[in-house]
Amino acid sequence: MEIKKILEEKILFFDGAMGTMLQRAGLKRGEIPEILNIEDKDKIINIHKKYIEAGANIITTNTFGANELKLEDIKYSVEEIIDAAVKNAKKASENRDTLVALDIGPIGELLEPMGTLKFEKAYNVFKRQVIQGVKSGADVILIETMADLYEVKAAVLAAKENSKLPVFCTMTFEKDRRTFTGCSILSMIMTLEGLGVDALGVNCSLGPVELEPIVSEILEFSSIPVMVQPNAGLPKMVNGETVYEISKEEFSSIEKRMAEKGARILGGCCGTDDTFIKKVVEEVSKVKPISKNSSKICGVCTPTNPVIIDGVKVIGERINPTGKKLFKEALKNNDIDYIVKQALSQIDAGADILDVNVGLPEINEAEMMIKVVKELQSVIDIPLQIDSNDKNVIEKALRIYNGKAIVNSVNGEEKVLNSILPIVKKYGASVIGLTLDEKGIPLKAEDRFKVAKKIVNKCLEYGISKEDIIIDCLTLTVSAQQKEVVETLKALNMVKNRLKVKTVLGVSNVSFGLPNRELLNSTFLAMALRDGLDLPIVNPNKSEIMNTIYSFKVLNNEDVGGEDYIKLYSNLKPKKDSAIRNVKAIDNKDSNKVSNEETSEDLIKIIIKGIKDKSAIITKELLKNNSELKIVNEYLIPALDIVGKKYEKGDIFLPQLIQSAETVKKAFEVIKEKLILENKDQISRGKIILATVKGDIHDIGKNIVKTVLENYGFTIIDLGKDVPKEEVVKAAKEHNVKLIGLSALMTTTVKSMEETIEALNENNIDCKVFVGGAVLNEDYAEMIKADYYAKDAKEAVEIAEKILC
C-alpha cells in the first residue's frame, strides 16, 4: 500500500538506533559504521532483522553519514556504500512487507552564511545520496537529526527533485524548543509543509520526557503526519561507558501518550534497541489513530522568526527603486550596504516583513535579487516578500530563501497564474494575487471580487491552500480616480468576508501627486484596516503610518490591554519580537566619509548588527586617532560582550552570533594588517589549542568555537579532527599553551577525550582543559577530569578570559 494511504489509517513504527546496536556488536571507536555495509554485511542485516522481529514497519539504512564530504578519506564511494546499505536492508526484509528508508543525516559542515558550505553544494551532496538510494530500491527518504533549516531545505529539494519517494524529515531540538542554530518549531513546520514533505517531526535531541512538550507543540500546528524518534533519555557516564537513563517501559508509555495526542510515526534514536521497539509496538498498537487537524498555519518565516498573520502585520515598502534616485544609484553601483541600511531602519521602525524589489532595466535583476536576499538574510531576521514580475527572478529567489517567503505577485491573467503558481507551490511560499486581469483593473468592487475568486480557485487547483493566499484589491490614486478608492475598500471587505483569505494593499499609492501625502496615506490606512486589511505595504519610517497602526491595534482589541501602545507612547519601545536587534538604525551617511566622533559609537552598533563591510572601513578610520589596543578593548570586546549577552538571553541565535563575530574578524584583520606593517607583535589575548579527539571526525562544533574565540582576540592552534592524544601533548609542549579545548560529538569518542586528558596529566603539562560537544555535560566533564565544560562557544570565551586574561 502507498505510504500516504497507510498514514491516513495507521500508526507506523520505525526502528531504533543503529549505532547503539553496532557498539554492542563490537564497533570500535573511530570505526566508520557505514563501511560495515560492505565489510561486515551480516552484522548489519542481523540488526535490521532484530528490528523487523520487534515489529518495525520501516527500517532505516545504515547510511547516516554516507555523504561525499564525510566519506572523503575512505576507499568506497558514496554510491557503493548506499547500494550495499539498501541491499542489506532489503535482504533483511525479504518475504516481509517491511519498507526501507534511505537514511540521510546532516553533512557535518555549516552552510553559508554561518559556515562556508554553499547551498548548491549541499544540494549536490544530498542529490548523490538520493539518486543512489532510488537506484538501489529504497521506499522512503528519511532526512533526520537536522539542526539547520537551510540544510534541510537543500536536502528536501534534492529528495523531491530526484525521486518520487515519500520524504520524511525530522530535526533535533533542545530544551529551549529551538535547534542549535536557533530554528523554531513553527518555522520548521511552515517551511517543511511548504516544501511538500510527507511527514515531519523530531528525532534524537533529548529523551521522550523532555521531547513531550516539543511534540505537543508540533502536533498542535502541523497539518501533516508527525514523526517522533527520541533518545532513550539523556546520556549518563557509568564506568566509562555511556548509558541512557530511561527504561523501555517508560519510553513506550510516553510514546503511547504521544500517539494518543496524534503522533503517527514512532521509533527510537540513540540508546534504543529492538527491545524498546518491541515494547513500543506492543503499547502503541493499542492506540486508535486519531485524524489530525488539517488547517495550516497562516504565516511566513525565517528560521528563527515565524511571523503568524493573525492580525495586522506591517510590510515595509522601501526596498524598491520606484521614484528613488539614491536607490537606483545603489543598485547600479552594487551598493548592497545601502539596501541593508534601508532594511534595518524599517525593522527598527516596526516592519514585520520586508518587500524586496530590485528591478531596474539596466541591471541583471535575477543576480541582484539573489545577492540582496542572501545578504539581507545574513543580517536581518524578518521574512521577505519577493517582489518581481519576472518568473525567473521569483524562482531563483525562492530557491535560495531560507524559510517561507511571500511572492509579490500574480494577477488574474491565465498565463501569469499558470506560470507563477507552480513555483509558489513547489517552494511553499505564500502568494499575493492582484485583482486585475487581461482586461485591466475592474472599476467596480464586484468585478474585482470576481477576479479574486478566480485567483483563489486557481491557487486551490494548484494545491496552494487558502492560508497561503493574500488578495490585493489594488489601491488607486485618489487624485486621478477619486470614485474608485471606495471601490477598493468595498472589494477588500467582500474578499475578506466571503473568500476568507488574507488581504494586502499598497497604501502609499493612494496619495501620488497630492501634498501632505502622509495624511492621506494614514487616513486611507485606517479606513482599510477597518475593512479588514491584514497586510499594509507602507513606509514604516513615517510616524503617521505607524501611529495609525499602533492605535488601530488597541482599538481593534489586537494589542490586548494596550500593552505595546502604552510602552511605545510613554516613550518606551514596544515589545518587538525577540529576534529583532533593537539598536537604532545607522543614519544615511556616506560610509566612506565618517568623522571620528561618529565612528566610535557606530562601530559597536555595526558589530551588533553584523554589517561586515562597514566594520573594516570604520576600523580604518578609528586607527587614525586611536591605538590598536584601545580599539580592541573599547570597541570590539564590549560589542562582543553585548552580542554574547543577547545570545545568552535568547534575543539572538547562532547565525547572528556568528555574523557579529565575523564582523569583528573584519575589524581584527584591519588591525593586524597595520601591526604587521609597523612590525609590531600581533595583538593576542593568548594562545589556545583546539582539537576534535581521536576517532571523531565531526568538527562542526570545534570550528564554531574556533571562529568565535578568534574573534574575541585569541590565537587558535587548530589541530583539526581525529587527533591522537600524543599529538595534543606534543603541541601543548611545543606551543607552551595554558589552555586546551577538546571536542567530541559522539558518545563513543568521549573515552578518547578522557584518555587525552590523562595523557596531558601524565606528561605534567601545566595547562587547563575545557571540553565540549553534543553528548557532553557538566557531569561528564567532571568524570573525565576536565577542568571546565563549555556548553557553547560563548562559554568557551568566558573560560578563555578567566584563564588567559
**Tally of CB atoms within 10 A around 406:** 25
Residue 320 binds ligand THG (CB under 6 A) = yes
409 binds ligand THG (CB under 6 A): yes
Closest approach of ligand THG to the CB of residue 485, in Å: 13
Nearest approach in angstroms of CB 357 to ligand THG is 7
Among 323, 361, 440, 561, binds ligand THG (CB under 6 A): 323
Annotated binding site for Zn(2+): 204, 269-270
| Per rule CB under 6 A, count of chain residues that contact ligand THG | 16
- List beta partners, residue 146: 171
Residue of 116, 285, 293, 322 that binds ligand THG (CB under 6 A): 322
Binding region for ligand THG (CB under 6 A) out of 184-192, 500-508, 606-614, 653-661: 500-508
Angle between helices 336-349 and 325-332 (to 10 degrees): 140
Residue nearest to ligand THG (CB): 506
- Contact call for residues 382 and 305 (beta carbons, < 8 A): yes
User: Cα separation of 757 and 228, whole Å?
Assistant: 37
Give, in degrees to the nearest 5, the angle at Cα 675 between 673 and 678.
110
Least gap, CB of 474 to ligand THG (angstroms): 6
* Strand ranges inside 117-166, DSSP E: 140-146
What mask, x for binding ligand THG by CB under 6 A, covers residues 351 to 380? ------------------------------
Least spacing, CB of residue 74 vs ligand THG, in Å: 53
**Does residue 408 bind ligand THG (CB under 6 A)?**
yes
The span from the CA of 272 to the CA of 431, in Å, is: 43
- Nearest residue to 532 (alpha-carbon basis) of 474, 582, 472, 492: 492
Residue nearer to ligand THG on the CB measure, 198 or 387: 387
Using the rule CB under 6 A, give the single segment among 251-259, 300-308, 501-509, 552-560 that binds ligand THG: 501-509
Of 509, 551, 600, 633, the one binding ligand THG by CB under 6 A = 509
Give the nearest distance from C-beta 308 to ligand THG in angstroms. Answer: 20
Give the nearest distance from C-beta 636 to ligand THG in angstroms: 35
Helices then strands, counting H and E runs in the chain, come out as 31, 25
Question: Considering the rule CB under 6 A, would residue 504 count as an interface residue with ligand THG?
Answer: yes
- Of 142 and 537, which CB lies nearer to ligand THG in the complex structure? 537
CA distance readout (Å), 386 to 348, 391, 408, 422, 457: 20, 11, 6, 16, 22
Binding-site entries: 204, 269-270
**Nearer to ligand THG (CB atom), residue 410 or residue 781:** 410
Q: 737: how many CB neighbours lie within 10 A of its CB?
A: 20
In the complex, minimum distance from the CB of residue 332 to ligand THG, in angstroms, rounded to a whole number = 17
DSSP states of 560-572: GGGHHHHHHHTTS
User: Residue 536 class from Cβ within 10 Å (0-12 exposed, 13-18 middle, 19+ buried)?
Assistant: buried
785 interacts with ligand THG by CB under 6 A: no
HEC letters along 5-63: HHHHHCCEEECCCCHHHHHHCCCCCCCCHHHHHHHCHHHHHHHHHHHHHHCCCEEECCC
Nearest approach, Cβ of 365 to ligand THG (angstroms)? Answer: 15
Show contacts with ligand THG in window 461-480 (CB under 6 A).
472, 475
Smallest distance from the beta carbon of 322 to ligand THG, in angstroms? Answer: 5
Examine residue 324 and tell whether it contacts ligand THG (CB under 6 A): yes
Determine contact, residues 329/337, Cβ cutoff 8 Å.
Answer: no
Among 103, 148, 151, 317, binds ligand THG (CB under 6 A): 317
Decide whether 374 or 542 has the Cβ nearer to ligand THG: 542
Whether 123 and 190 have beta carbons less than 8 Å apart is answered as no
Torsion of CA 725, 729, 732, 736, to 10 degrees: 170
| Candidate residues 336, 537, 774, 775; the one interacting with ligand THG per rule CB under 6 A | 537
Closer of 188 and 535 to ligand THG (Cβ): 535
Confirm if 344 and 589 have CB atoms less than 8 A apart.
no
What is the 3-state composition of the chain as percent helix, strand, coil, each rounded to the nearest 5?
Answer: 50, 15, 35
Among the candidate windows 149-157, 314-322, 416-424, 447-455, which touches ligand THG by CB under 6 A? Answer: 314-322
Report the amino acid identity of residue 80: E
> How far is residue 532 from each of residues 48, 528, 551, measured CA to CA in Å?
56, 6, 15
Give whichever of 383 and 506 is closer to ligand THG, judged by the CB atom: 506
Q: Burial level of 624, CB count in 10 A (0-12/13-18/19+)?
A: exposed
Query: If binding is defined by CB under 6 A, does position 506 make contact with ligand THG?
Result: yes
**371: exposed, middle or buried (C-beta count within 10 Å: 0-12, 13-18, 19+)?**
middle
Q: Does 599 bind ligand THG (CB under 6 A)?
A: no
- Are 13 and 277 contacting, i.e. CB atoms less than 8 angstroms apart? yes
State the alpha helices, DSSP H only, in 650-735.
654-677, 700-711, 725-735
Indicate the residue among 324 and 453 with the shorter CB distance to ligand THG: 324
Near ligand THG by CB under 6 A, which window of 321-329, 579-587, 700-708, 754-762?
Answer: 321-329
What's the min distance (Å) between Cβ of 453 and ligand THG?
A: 18
Q: Which residue has the cell 540488526?
A: 47
Question: Within positions 386 to 405, which residues make up the interface with ligand THG, using CB under 6 A?
Answer: 387
The reply to whether 521 sits near ligand THG by the rule CB under 6 A is no
Q: How far is the CB of 512 from ligand THG (least distance, A)?
A: 7
d(CA 801, CA 738): 12
Binding ligand THG (rule: CB under 6 A), the pick from 181, 388, 411, 508 is 508
Rounded to a whole number of angstroms, the minimum distance from the CB of residue 580 to ligand THG is 22
Instruction: State yes or no: residue 432 binds ligand THG (CB under 6 A).
Output: yes
Q: Which positions lie near ligand THG, rule CB under 6 A?
A: 317, 320, 322-324, 387, 408-409, 432, 472, 475, 504, 506, 508-509, 537
